Structure 1
Amino acid sequence: MRPLPRRSNIHKYPVLKWFASTAYKRSYLWSFKGNSIKPALFWGLIVSFAPLVGIQMLVVFFLALFLRANLPLIVALQWISNPLTMGPIYFADYKIGCFFLQLLGIEIVENKILSRHYDWGNFKFQDLFALLDTFPPMFVGGAVIGVFFGVISVFFYNLAAKLYKRPPLPSNPK
């Protein structure tokens, strides 16, 4: 928990420091009650799978304010998409997004750079602009994956909370 933002050190975070006084005044951002944890789990996972590189922390800060969600948890979930996992996550976003868009009848032409047979010897800088057509499927796929994992995480949180609150079984004295 040490690297997570806390009320006492939020002013040290690159983007969050601009909003430190706002965050400090709102105690619900630091609450670990269920009504703060559930939206943080659900929306934090949706944003972590969305292709929002560079602005994720800012997006989740405003989501935490708006939804009254736990700030340390929603920020920590953004570390799912880090430089090591970004490639596989965004590739899965793209493939799943293409699948769901095709289910809706929207034809997606596969990007030539994403093809196995792309000749990287003839790569041109202009080919990078061809990647812009990958964003709609990536957003759809990211939303689908995020909602899937968000629903599962909230379900398991509720299950764990019920098991934790369950009274102990009475022992049979003999």
Structure 2
Amino acid sequence: MPRKIFKKYMPDQHKLRAHPSLRWLGDHLHNPNLWHLTRKSVSRAFLVGIFCAFLPIPGQMLVAAVLALLMASNLAVSIGLVWLTNPLTMPPIFYFTYRIGAWLLDTHIRDRINFHWDLASLQTEIAAIWWPLLLGSVLTGVVLALLSYVCIQWFWIWHVNHHWKKRKPGRFRQKDDQAD
């Protein structure tokens, strides 16, 4: 089952419950549905985690945890997928989403940022790229989240059917051997 694949890489639920950044969720973390590895909970977790990974905001893990609670998706998978955008992958991913947003808004793409280490420069540069970045990130996040949801649903069903087909001939041979 695909459950074995996911279980191998999942963190321990007891460690996650004790994590300081998630402790504020309290009793909600004791809901067993947040920890089950089913086709529905894992596919919803991919939907939540990948969408939140593309949000250009701080606290992506917090947003993923809240959405996982609301959508009854697997909490660990939802939070883990947020790390698709880590300090190494953020610059190329967010530059790509910025370019998509700028193209959709038909605005000039800023290839160079005139950045100086002061608050006024930072505010000016962020104000110039914020809307294209947000639009491109949300749109890319929605598209990839929906695509991953459908792919996980399809993969899970295929994987279960594949293993049933592999088991089927062996079961009938054993019954035939016992009948003889």
Give the alignment's TM-score, normalised by structure 2: 0.76
- Structure 1 residue runs without a partner (length 5+): 103-107
Checking the alignment, whether the CA contact within 8 Å between 2:52 and 2:64 is kept in structure 1 is yes
Deviations 1:107-147 (A, max 9, x none): x344xxx434x666xx3622211112322211211122212
What's 1:73 paired with? 77
Choose from 115, 121, 139 the match for 1:127: 121
Matched, 1:40 2:45: yes
Give the CA deviation at 1:21: 2.9
Compute the displacement of 1:81 (Å). 0.9
CA distance in 2, matches of 1:2, 1:21: 26
Aligned to 1:61: 65
- 1:13 matched residue in structure 2: 19
Aligned to 1:162: 157
Letter in 1 for 2:95: F
Question: In angstroms, what is the RMSD of aligned CA positions?
Answer: 2.5
How many angstroms does 1:40 deviate by?
Answer: 1.1
Q: How many pairs are equivalent? A: 159
Secondary structure of the residue aligned to 1:51 is coil
Is structure 2 residue 140 aligned with structure 1 residue 141? no
Between Structure 1 and Structure 2, which shows a larger proportion of helix residues?
Answer: 2
Structure 2 residue ranges without an equivalent (≥5):
1-6, 174-180
Q: CA 1:94–1:79 in 2, change beyond 3 Å: closer, same or farther?
A: same
Query: Over alpha carbons, which structure has the higher Rg?
Result: 2
Code of the residue aligned with 2:140 in structure 1: it is I
What is the percent sequence identity of the aligned residues?
A: 25
Q: 1:91 aligns with which of 91, 95, 98?
A: 95
Q: 1:119 to 1:77 in 2, by over 3 A?
A: closer
Kept in 1: contact 2:55–2:134 (CA 8 A): yes
Query: What is the identity, as a one-letter code, of the residue corresponding to 1:162?
Result: I
Q: How many angstroms apart in 1 are the aligned matches of 2:132 and 2:57?
A: 13
Paired residue secondary structure (1:69)? coil
Find the aligned partners of 1:160 and 1:38 in 2 and give their Cα distance: 10
Distance 1:124 1:81 in 2: 25
Q: Could you tell which deviates more after superposition, 141-150 or 7-16? A: 7-16
